[in-house]
Structure 1
Amino acid sequence: MTWPVVHISRSLDHDVAAVSSVAGNPANLPAWAAGLSSGIRQEDGRWITDSPMGVVEVAFTGPVELGILDHDVTVPDGSVVRNSFRVVANDQGTEAIFTLFRRDGMSEADFQSDADAVRSDLDRLAVLLDKCLLRTR
Structure 2
Amino acid sequence: MESRHVSRVISASPHTVYEVAANIDTLPKWASGLAHSEVTRDGDLLWVDSPMGRVSLRFVAPNEFGILDHDVTLPSGVTVTNPLRVLAHPNGAEVIFTVRQLDLSDDEFDRDATTVGEDLDRLRSLVEDDNRARRS
Which bracket does the TM-score occupy, shorter chain normalised?
A: 0.7 to 0.9
Structure 2 letter corresponding to 1:58: L
Q: Is the 8 A contact 2:8 2:120 kept in 1?
A: yes
* Aligned counterparts, 1:1-137, within 5 A: 3-35=1-33, 36-103=35-102, 105-137=103-135
Q: C-alpha separation between the residues in 2 aligned to 1:65 and 1:27? A: 20
Instruction: Identify if the C-alpha distance between structure 1 residues 50 and 118 changes in structure 2 by more than 3 Å, giving closer, same or farther.
Output: same
Point out where structure 2 has 5 or more consecutive residues left out of the alignment.
none
Q: Any idea what the Cα deviations from partners look like across 1:17-71, whole Å, max 9, x if unmatched? A: 1000000111110000013123322234532112343321112114444210111
Distance in 2, Cα, partners of 1:7 & 1:133: 26
Q: Secondary structure at the match of 1:96?
A: strand
* Secondary structure in structure 1 of the residue aligned to 2:55: strand
Number of matched pairs: 134
Query: What's the TM-score once normalised by structure 1's chain length?
Result: 0.87
- Superposed CA RMSD in Å reads 1.7
- Contact (CA 8 Å) 2:13, 2:92: kept in 1 or not? yes
Structure 1: gaps of 5 or more residues: none
CA–CA distance in structure 1, aligned partners of residues 54 and 63 of structure 2: 24
CA distance in 1, matches of 2:101, 2:44: 31
CA distance in 2, matches of 1:131, 1:18: 12
Mean Cα displacement is larger for which, 79-88 or 49-58? 49-58
Identity of aligned residues (%): 40
- Counterparts of 1:75 and 1:107 in 2: how far apart (Å)? 18
Give, as a single letter, the amino acid of the residue that structure 2 aligns with 1:37: H
